[in-house]
Structure 1
Amino acid sequence: MLYDAADEPETLSPDELLSTYADELRTVVDALGVDAVVAGTDLDEATVEAIVDGDVADLSVEEAAAVLALSESYPDQRGIVLELRDHILMGMTTAVLDVDTIAANIEVDLTGQEVQQAIEGRSRFSLAEFAAIHGLIARRKDR
């Protein structure tokens, strides 16, 4: 899963976390091929080629999950997304973080309400936003 792509996420910057997500996605695309990923998802060829190039910041969590779900090593897309959201919510509880605190402490331009909507799946949640939130939670849990 994306949230465990890095062994020690608390030691990585959001950009470094994003790179680990890119590596995980690239592994699936490399194994299956660009054409198979295009055929198995709603992504166009340019987007899948961007994944191969490591450019995943604007990819949504749902799009990334669709790619991962093509591999037999992962659950289906919905399962991946739900597990990722659960991981964030459990991390917030463990790290004693609320959405306003998250919004105030990440470099992504989101309000507390937008953080909540992204986590709940009510708005688009990019991998760059996920990396910023994931990193903050991991650092706070590590204290």
Structure 2
Amino acid sequence: MLHTVADELSNPSASALQTAYEDRLRSVITTVGTETVVDESEIETDRIAALAEGSSPTLTATEAAAILAVDDETPDAEAIVLELRDHLLLGMTTSVLDVDTIAANIDVDLTAQEVQQAIEGRTEMTLSQLAAIQSVIDGWER
């Protein structure tokens, strides 16, 4: 799952989270093969190949979930995205955070309304945006 990579990090900064997300995706590509990931995720070959080779192509959370879902040990992409959103919303509740606070503490260009829309799934969120949002939520002092 995407959101669980934070559990493996001592410092869940946005850059560390994005690197961890990409490492998790690369491990799936290595395990099942580039062609299988391309076929089953329906993401362009050049973007999957770039990721496999260590680059950081722009991917959405939905695309990342599609890559993870290629692994037979992982739930389907929709379940991964829903669990991710639940994790973010629960983290906001537990930390008593609102979208205004999150937007004020991230280094990506999102307004509070855009943060809310991304978390609720009304708009796509990139892995970079997810990393920034999750780093604030998971790193907030409770």
Q: Under a length normalisation based on structure 1, what TM-score does the superposition of the two structures give?
A: 0.93
Deviation sequence 1:107-131 (CA, Å, 0-9, x none): 0100000001111111110000000
Cα deviation for residue 42 of structure 1 reads 1.8
Cα deviation for residue 57 of structure 1 reads 6.0
Check conservation: 2:25, 2:67, Cα contact below 8 A.
yes
Cα deviation for residue 54 of structure 1 reads 3.6
1:51-90 matches, cutoff 5 A: 51-56=51-56, 58-90=58-90
Aligned-partner Cα distance in 2 for 1:6–1:90: 15
Calculate percent identity across the aligned residue pairs: 49
5+ residue gaps, structure 2, are: none
Deviation sequence 1:44-103 (CA, Å, 0-9, x none): 111101221343462000000000001012100100000000000000001111111100
Aligned-partner Cα distance in 2 for 1:31–1:8: 20
Cα deviation for residue 106 of structure 1 reads 0.4
Check conservation: 1:62, 1:77, Cα contact below 8 A.
yes
Show structure 1 runs of 4+ deviating over 4 A.
none
1:96-135 matches, cutoff 5 A: 96-135=96-135
Where 2:6 maps in the other structure, the secondary structure is: coil
Give the structure 2 partner of residue 16 of structure 1.
16
5+ residue gaps, structure 1, are: none
After superposition, the CA RMSD in angstroms is: 1.5
What is the one-letter code of the residue matched to 2:112? G
Question: CA, structure 1 residues 57+94, in 2 after alignment: closer, same or farther (shift >3 Å)?
Answer: farther
Question: CA, structure 1 residues 49+110, in 2 after alignment: closer, same or farther (shift >3 Å)?
Answer: same
Check conservation: 1:66, 1:77, Cα contact below 8 A.
yes
Number of residue pairs aligned between Structure 1 and Structure 2: 142
Give the structure 1 partner of residue 3 of structure 2.
3
Question: CA, structure 1 residues 96+8, in 2 after alignment: closer, same or farther (shift >3 Å)?
Answer: farther
Question: CA, structure 1 residues 54+35, in 2 after alignment: closer, same or farther (shift >3 Å)?
Answer: same
